[in-house]
Amino acid sequence: MLHQFLKKRSITNSSDVWGYAKTIIPGGGELISKKAERFLPGQWPSYYHKAKGYNVWDLNNKKYVDFAQMGVGSCIHGYANSKINKKVISSIRRGSMSSLNSYEELELAERLIQLHPYSSMARFARTGGEACSIAVRIARAASGKDGVAICGYHGWHDWYIATNIGDKENLKDQLLPGLDAAGVPKNLQGSTYPFIYNDFDGLEIIKENRDKIGVVIMEPTRGVKPLPGYLQKIRELCNEIGAVLIFDEVTSAFRENNGAWHLLSGVDPDMTVFGKALGNGFPISAVIGKESVMNKATLSFISSTMWTERVGFTAGVANLDLFSKQKSHEKLVYNGKKIKEAWEESAKKTNININISGLDPLASFKFLDGAENVYQTFYAQEMLKENFLVGSSSYSCTVYSESILKKFNKKTLEVFEKIKFINDKGDKVENYIKGDLIKSGFKRLNS
């Protein structure tokens, strides 16, 4: 059954909407991670009208099992989670906006502070990138120095993208190759100092620029875990040079443990940033930290109408309550391991070389041997025929059942076997791909 949206525009297929979108939204959409070009150009359904649990229905009302990224890592408790929705809907009924503040903001601040004993204050925003920008602003105000050392991805804002002014490859190892800094003020060139994760020698750049660097912001983990002593070394370095240490846990928090991942490392930052999983898909992000640093927010102007809206706080509180009650991290880790197992076993049985990385709940894999994007496209195409949405990473959720994990394992093996069969008969997998190959790199993804 065609959705009204398609009927009204005389479009017959959900996958054709992406082309239409590009005529009225530059680049097609708001998030690079949802672009059809990243998953399956020309075939990816791209738009949905309903999502529940681990299922998504496209505009042709076709039902899929989502093993792609569960709302780009935001929906750890599944889509439209009934318990969280109930609280959110109640807050909407009672008015999601007013001239007064929402008390749920204080409840969420209390929850986060309780989970992270070094912190005593919180600020909130709606997106991860916004919250990182808030943290950097406060940290600059606290340290009195403008320079920011960065490691990882921290959003789209000027202070971060300025890294690529003058050299489009400066963020190649943190984010994407070839990312253009068009529109970012040129005089921000040189205001950031990128360093490579787990490279002890690379920390020299921070020491050498100790007079300029007042902020070190980094993802404490993501693809790999920190080497022994690495985070400790950065902590000591920040103390030594008088820089504020921010852990950006927009993606890593609430995956392997109840709270920010760094709680497992024993190293405390001065501030921590949360987003993604905090609201189970509802818009809410947070910055928490030590009072001595966080209070410097009052010296600066950091203010926005929609940061006070009630739904985000309500969802955050309900989501964290559910997380604590269910010990959700145990299920996230278990299901993430099962996903990795499916890739690993399929690769072993078919002698196809892959590399698996990431925290268990943030699992990624990569085909090796030079066939990466051909095999990846074929994998997404063949899994789509079985009504599975897949990509090169799969972010775990608590609602995957044993039976759906088994089915994912079986279907993944079948696709790997097809690749082996095609190769064994001396044919090329590329010949079996209907649309374009998946794309990587900023220019090709963003057009």
Of the residues 251, 257, 328, 381, which one makes contact with ligand PLP according to CB under 6 A? 251
**155 near ligand PLP (CB under 6 A):** yes
Question: Three-class SS of residue 48?
Answer: strand
**281 near ligand PLP (CB under 6 A):** no
H or E segment and range at residue 239: helix 230-241
Minimum distance from residue 350 beta carbon to ligand PLP (Å): 32
Minimum distance from residue 417 beta carbon to ligand PLP (Å): 33
Minimum distance from residue 283 beta carbon to ligand PLP (Å): 9
What is the SS3 assignment for 351-375? CCCEEEECCCCEEEEEECCCCHHHH
Of the residues 108, 132, 148, 405, which one makes contact with ligand PLP according to CB under 6 A? 132
Of the residues 28, 71, 128, 226, which one makes contact with ligand PLP according to CB under 6 A? 128
Q: Which of residues 291-330 bind ligand PLP (CB under 6 A)?
A: none
How far apart, in whole angstroms, are the C-alpha atoms of residue 203 and residue 231?
11
**220 near ligand PLP (CB under 6 A):** no
- Chain center to CA of 136: 19
Helix extents (H) in 290-435? 291-294, 310-326, 328-350, 372-385, 402-424
**219 near ligand PLP (CB under 6 A):** yes
Q: Which of residues 192-211 bind ligand PLP (CB under 6 A)?
A: none
Number of residues that bind ligand PLP (CB under 6 A): 13
Amino acid letter, residue 70: M
Residue closest to ligand PLP (Cβ): 128
**250 near ligand PLP (CB under 6 A):** yes
Query: What is the per-residue binding string for ligand PLP in 95-124, x denoting contact by CB under 6 A?
Result: ------------------------------
Stretch that binds ligand PLP, among 128-136, 142-150, 205-213, 362-370 (CB under 6 A): 128-136
Beta strands 147-151 and 192-194: pairing type? parallel
Of the residues 44, 48, 153, 254, which one makes contact with ligand PLP according to CB under 6 A? 153
Minimum distance from residue 314 beta carbon to ligand PLP (Å): 19
CA distances from 77 to 83, 92, 246, 392 (A): 10, 20, 27, 21
Minimum distance from residue 31 beta carbon to ligand PLP (Å): 7
* The length of the chain, given as a count of residues: 447
Stretch that binds ligand PLP, among 40-48, 150-158, 169-177, 342-350 (CB under 6 A): 150-158
- Give 156 or 432: the residue with its C-beta nearer to ligand PLP: 156
Residue 83 burial class via C-beta count within 10 angstroms: exposed 0-12, middle 13-18, buried 19 and up: middle
What are phi and psi for residue 162, nearest 5 degrees?
A: -55, -20
CA distances from 380 to 49, 103, 416, 436 (A): 21, 44, 11, 12
Whether residue 15 contacts residue 45, with contact meaning beta carbons closer than 8 Å, is answered with yes
Of the residues 28, 41, 53, 129, which one makes contact with ligand PLP according to CB under 6 A? 129
Whether residue 195 contacts residue 149, with contact meaning beta carbons closer than 8 Å, is answered with yes
Q: Which of residues 399-428 bind ligand PLP (CB under 6 A)?
A: none
- Give 219 or 309: the residue with its C-beta nearer to ligand PLP: 219
Task: Show Cβ contacts of residue 197 under 8 Å, excluding neighbours closer than 6 positions.
Answer: 151, 152, 218, 219, 224, 226
Give the interface with ligand PLP as residue ranges (CB under 6 A): 127-129, 132, 152-155, 219, 248, 250-251, 275
